[in-house]
Structure 1
Amino acid sequence: MTISISLLLALWLNKKGAMYGFVQGAIFSPHIISLVSISMLWIWIMDTDYGLLNWFLNLFGISNIPWLTNPKTSLLSLIIVAVWKGIGYYTLIFIAGLQSIPKDIYEAAALDDTSKVRTFFKLTLPMLSPTLFFLTIIGLIGSFQVFETISIMTKGGPINSTNTIVYYIYENGFRFFKIGYASTAGVILLFIVGVFTILYFKLLSRKVHYQS
């Protein structure tokens, strides 16, 4: 989700102008804010009774949603926070990738009267494959390392709906002092991340187009 939204934003913001520069800075700003501050902010935004998000939904006749206290919505709430936090970083990386694509390729496509949709899928996307590959790898690894938002916003609840292996390691190691369980879970986490990374490299690295 983060990669898709970031790519669309990058395509829109890959232009010169004060407005586009301002929007890039505004989008990137959440990335440099600490997750503790962001988590506290979103706790207030997603408050069931007084949160800004539910107030906005009420304007459209939608009743209050227990974002952080309902097992059906708690995980989605954390995903929203993660997307909001990371979207600026991903967008800037995509913009850098777009700006590295040689302009003469697009000029040749324009001379051939190639449509914008075909140009995107046949030229832009393949040339962005190294950037996509990099962001997918760091996104995959980062998804296994989520901790701060869970610790502050939900503490793994409700009913373990937002518990992750990293938070499980923390609870067993630093709350229950079950060092053996925590160590074993840490090794399992390392194995899972390693397997997923190797599989991703084996399956998709050959489709990456590196510019000469």
Structure 2
Amino acid sequence: MIELDVDGLFNVRADADARPWIVRSGAPDAVTPRGAEQLRALGVTAIVDLREPSERRPARHGFPVVAVPLYGEAPPIEGRLEHIYEALLRDRGEALASAVAAIADAEGAALVHCTAGKDRTGLVVALAQRAVGRGEDEVVADYALSGAHVRPVREEIALAHAAEGAEADRAETLRLHLDSPPEAIRHALAVIDELGGAAAYLRAHGLGEEQLEALRAKASTVGAMRR
């Protein structure tokens, strides 16, 4: 994934710097008109919002939004990343598959985001990437980029959450809110493999065969452009 500078967005990456099939970012609540035009120039036609209703803000970007609340409840403010990712994979498969379906159904590229663009976004993007044949190391390397972009934006909030909890949980809480450690997404990928692999997992939770093929076709177009 290629890091991008889009006005009013943070933690932004895309599968290509021209006509990507997938773009990921933190919440686009502050995206400017210039930033929205940058996204349109990239080929973004839809936004997939993984936040819960209580987290959302009025959209000013003008793109159609597909809302897929990934947790189905208030996002966790403490806990170990690996456990949270595994719980989502085991308990929220239909929501994860719906998010990937929205990427497949987009006429052009889909922008996928949650609040920080790190955890929920990271898991959905990892599933989509693995379903189209991206290698594990490529998926991990992309995920690991988020921490450096999230920390400046979210550190104050993370410190407040850590201060509210037990001292013994402080390091884990900060890791949850600020970091994107490779071992966390590798654990999630191992769970996906245990459950049959990304494509089988997504099919089992509602992704249609035509949607899977559409996803692969989009990704193969970008792959051909890379070559």
- TM normalised by structure 1 equals 0.26
Query: Which one has the bigger strand percentage?
Result: 2
Bigger CA radius of gyration: 1
- TM normalised by structure 2 equals 0.25
Query: Which one has the bigger helix percentage?
Result: 1
